[in-house]
């Protein structure tokens, strides 16, 4: 059995969707808006990507062996 991360499969799908939306919105906003508010989308995308990577790392951890038995 594969170790589960801290995100459920549904939360993981929404995290990927949020990452993709923020990642595509940032360059579009940078082109259309004169100020630097587009940078917020970059920060959000990086934050969501960090959560996805952390969840992936936890899922790939080897299963702990119980020596008590």
Q: How many domains does the chain have?
A: 1
Would the pTM of this model clear 0.85, i.e. be above it? no
Mean pLDDT of the chain: 87
Residue 15 structure tokens: 């995290």
Q: Is 13 helix (H, G, I), strand (E, B) or coil?
A: helix
Confidence of residue 62 (pLDDT cuts 50, 70, 90): confident
Average pLDDT over residues 23-31: 89
Give the count of beta carbons closer than 10 Å to the beta carbon of residue 3.
Answer: 11
Average pLDDT over residues 39-63: 91
Give the count of beta carbons closer than 10 Å to the beta carbon of residue 48.
Answer: 20
- How many C-alpha atoms does 40 have within 13 Å on its Cβ side? 5
Where in the sequence is the domain holding 40, given as residue range(s)? 9-59
Instruction: Report if residue 23 sits inside a domain.
Output: yes
Instruction: Report if residue 1 sits inside a domain.
Output: no
């Amino acid at each position: 059995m594969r170790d589960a991360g801290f995100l459920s499969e549904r939360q993981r799908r929404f995290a990927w969707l949020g990452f993709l939306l923020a990642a595509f919105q940032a360059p579009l906003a940078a082109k259309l808006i004169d100020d630097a508010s587009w940078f917020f989308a970059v920060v959000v995308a990086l934050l969501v990507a960090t959560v996805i990577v952390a969840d992936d790392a936890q899922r790939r951890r080897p299963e702990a062996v119980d020596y008590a038995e």
